[in-house]
Structure 1
């Protein structure tokens, strides 16, 4: 018995929803273990602070937490978006999504270069080299079919590339998605990350040992944010 076209469309949308949820769940799991140095007990202490609705700020925070790995990711994502837009031609409503993605990646790259100018010079160099290589592979594909096939796949698989980049960052970046701080207390200074701030308490992941401590807000005398290093 043939299935109704609308049923097939609904099944496809449902499968895409499940896939997105699965990727989000995997991202959360990888971040959970990465920030706790893959310690089961520490991860169990942190899990109550996370939820699916935290994925978007966690993705952005993960990208910004490690300037080095962010630079690597941006040096790959930027040329892919540029070459894709060149292939599309002049901006139009049909390419608005890719144009918005290109502007977003470009803004992230510009902010990284401005903040760490002189230290991440390799990011634009790597992006230019990769971009030129992709463009030439697409233009002279008849001379190097293998290179052309890879270039076509690379430019046409932006969603897969972004997903894989996000998962790799999730598994390798041990810095949480919040700023590192010196939390001054009546018993001394704690170097760590404030993961949760419920009324009357702070839940802090310590930098040394990656263990969770819960502080009474009455014992906290000050907090000092530490800038990340490239």
Structure 2
């Protein structure tokens, strides 16, 4: 018996939702292990503080935590989004999603370069853009390269997903700022991963262990900016 079009559409939406949830769960798992230096006990302690609703903040924090790795990711994403937008043609409602994505990537790139003077990001992005343009125009002269370039500029979702998962597994800096916490018992240097009433759950910077700090003992907190 043939399926009703609405039933097929609903199943497709459910499948996409499950896929997105699976990717979010994998990203969360990779981040928990990466920031704890793949220590099982520390990862177990940290996992209890997180949920799928934290993934968006974690993605942004991961991209911004390591200027070098973030710069590499942006140097790849910027030319891909730019060329894809050029191929889509004049901005319109039908390609507004890609245009917004391009503006977001450009904003992150501009902010990173302005903060850390990482001009190499623009150089790498420009070289990659030139290579992609040449491959796209190669046609019959280089069919394999042309197909690869066409796939690259039309696979934004896959590339973004892979980049996010690679960063999740390799960036050991957590998605929150490094802090020096002055307490009555001495200095605690780490990342506050949970801040409920009465205590702080801190991931130590060096040992990558979870410690509990009573807020009554805290005499001062200072954020430390990440190094380029």
Q: TM-score, normalised by structure 1?
A: 0.98
Deviations 1:186-205 (A, max 9, x none): 11111100001100111100
1:9 aligns with 2:9: yes
Aligned counterpart, 2:45: 45
Aligned counterpart, 2:81: 81
CA displacement at 1:142 relative to structure 2: 2.1
- Structure 1 stretches of at least 4 aligned residues deviating more than 2 Å after TM superposition: none
Secondary structure of the corresponding residue to residue 90 of structure 1: coil
Aligned counterpart, 1:162: 160
CA displacement at 1:2 relative to structure 2: 1.6
Report the Cα distance in structure 2 between the residues aligned to 1:144 and 1:22, rounded to whole angstroms: 37
Deviations 1:77-113 (A, max 9, x none): 0000010111111111111000000000000000000
Q: What runs of 5+ residues in structure 1 fail to find an aligned partner?
A: none
Secondary structure of the corresponding residue to residue 172 of structure 2: coil
CA displacement at 1:135 relative to structure 2: 1.3
Secondary structure of the corresponding residue to residue 37 of structure 2: coil
Report the Cα distance in structure 2 between the residues aligned to 1:48 and 1:55, rounded to whole angstroms: 14
Secondary structure of the corresponding residue to residue 229 of structure 1: coil
Alignment partner for residue 201 of structure 2, among 200, 203, 216? 203
Report the Cα distance in structure 2 between the residues aligned to 1:41 and 1:55, rounded to whole angstroms: 21
CA displacement at 1:29 relative to structure 2: 0.3
Report the Cα distance in structure 1 between the residues aligned to 2:87 and 2:133, rounded to whole angstroms: 9
Report the Cα distance in structure 2 between the residues aligned to 1:188 and 1:53, rounded to whole angstroms: 34
RMSD, matched Cα: 0.7
- Aligned pairs for 1:5-154 (under 5 A) are 5-117=5-117, 120-154=118-152
Q: What runs of 5+ residues in structure 2 fail to find an aligned partner?
A: none
Report the Cα distance in structure 2 between the residues aligned to 1:26 and 1:14, rounded to whole angstroms: 18
Alignment partner for residue 216 of structure 1, among 210, 214, 217? 214
Report the Cα distance in structure 1 between the residues aligned to 2:66 and 2:111, rounded to whole angstroms: 14
Report the Cα distance in structure 1 between the residues aligned to 2:140 and 2:49, rounded to whole angstroms: 53
Report the Cα distance in structure 2 between the residues aligned to 1:102 and 1:201, rounded to whole angstroms: 41
CA displacement at 1:140 relative to structure 2: 2.3
CA displacement at 1:53 relative to structure 2: 0.4
